[in-house]
Amino acid sequence: MEFEDRLQRAIERGRHARDERGRAAADEAMTQEEIRNLHSQCRLELTERVEDCLRRLADHFPGFEYQSIVSDEGWGARITRDDLKVNPGKRPENVYSRLEMLVSPLGTAAIVELVAKGTIRNKEVFNRKHFQQLSRVDVDSFKELVDLWVLEYAEQFSSRN
């Protein structure tokens, strides 16, 4: 009977541990309203950073047009520029450059997602997405990422132009 008693205690300990994990998960689980509010707060902070960085980038490279974006795809900004590439002995060619950064709308997953697309002289230089779970979101790391991507684009644009 000693084994039977130990077996019953082990089963009870396992059930107790499972119940504790369930309670802890329920405590950590955010309500839908809390999720929406946190996503909105993160979106506003990130959108402000994106808009500020892209405006400043456009100020350093004349010809870029700045545009705020509010659409089904998300919130953010884009800068675009059309240039005329003249090659001796050939017809002039239009070349297009843009950098677009958006914070995606809240979907079924409780995440914050930043999407960036960069094109320089008709060539895509990057197409990136970064996300974090809302329960563990670090807005400062997103802001650093925005800075990094804008600086990378500026370096690539200035080296090719």
Instruction: Please report which confidence band the pLDDT of residue 9 belongs to, taking 50, 70 and 90 as the band edges.
Output: confident
Closest by Cα among 70, 46, 7 to 138: 46
What would the mean pLDDT of 35-60 be, rounded to a whole number? 95
Higher pLDDT, 32 or 112: 112
Bridge partner residues of 70 (DSSP)? 75
Domain ranges, ordered by start, for the chain: 1-29, 31-160
Percentage with pLDDT > 90 across the chain: 63
pLDDT at residue 14, as a whole number: 87
pLDDT at residue 27 greater than cutoff 60 = no
Res 78: pLDDT: 97
Q: Rounded to whole angstroms, what are the CA distances from 80 to 31, 53, 85, 86?
A: 39, 14, 16, 19
Dihedral sign for Cα atoms in the order 17, 21, 26, 28:
positive
* pLDDT value for 65: 96
Q: Model confidence over 101-131: pLDDT tens digits?
A: 999 999 888 899 999 999 999 999 999 999 9
Residues 67-94 have a mean pLDDT of 90
